[in-house]
């Protein structure tokens, strides 16, 4: 009788240990999502191989290449002034032109100022 009670207690302890919650692990970062059509994004991550646009950094889901950060601007073709989003310009009703430029992700060193845009070299 004592032996069966001891066996039941050991079995209960083992079962209780098996049902304890696993330790929390760091969640893997979410994969970037494909952007089907540019609307009002100012920054996208572009695949250098296939040209697909994504909403976050990571790897391309089609060709596994590292995505490159790209700035996006929308420009009115009539007056070359920026507009807020893709599609029709609110001033002239023409389709806005999408202009992409590579984004430099180099942080400035402390104590150094970024060069002023349009500064002349030695003149």
Residue 14 DSSP class: H
Sketch the domain layout of the chain as residue ranges.
Answer: 43-102
Distance in angstroms (rounded) separating the CA atoms of residues 66 and 85:
27
Residue 112 banded pLDDT, cuts 50, 70, 90: low
CB-based contact 61:47 (threshold 8 Å): no
| pLDDT recorded at residue 103 | 86
| pLDDT recorded at residue 18 | 56
pLDDT in tens, 38-80: 999 999 999 999 999 999 999 999 999 999 999 999 999 999 9
Looking at the chain, the whole-number percentage of residues with pLDDT higher than 90 is 56
């Amino acid at each position: 009788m004592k032996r069966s009670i001891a066996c039941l207690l050991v079995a209960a302890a083992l079962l209780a240990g098996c049902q304890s919650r696993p330790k929390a692990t760091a969640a893997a970062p979410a994969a970037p999502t494909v952007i089907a059509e540019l609307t009002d994004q100012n920054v996208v991550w572009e695949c250098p191989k296939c040209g697909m646009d994504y909403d976050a950094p990571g790897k391309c889901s089609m060709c596994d290449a590292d995505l490159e950060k790209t700035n996006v601007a929308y420009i009115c073709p009539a007056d070359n002034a920026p507009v807020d989003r893709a599609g029709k310009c609110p001033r002239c009703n023409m389709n806005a032109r999408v202009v992409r430029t590579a984004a430099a992700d180099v942080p400035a060193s402390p104590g150094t100022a970024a060069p002023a845009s349009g500064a002349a070299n030695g003149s």
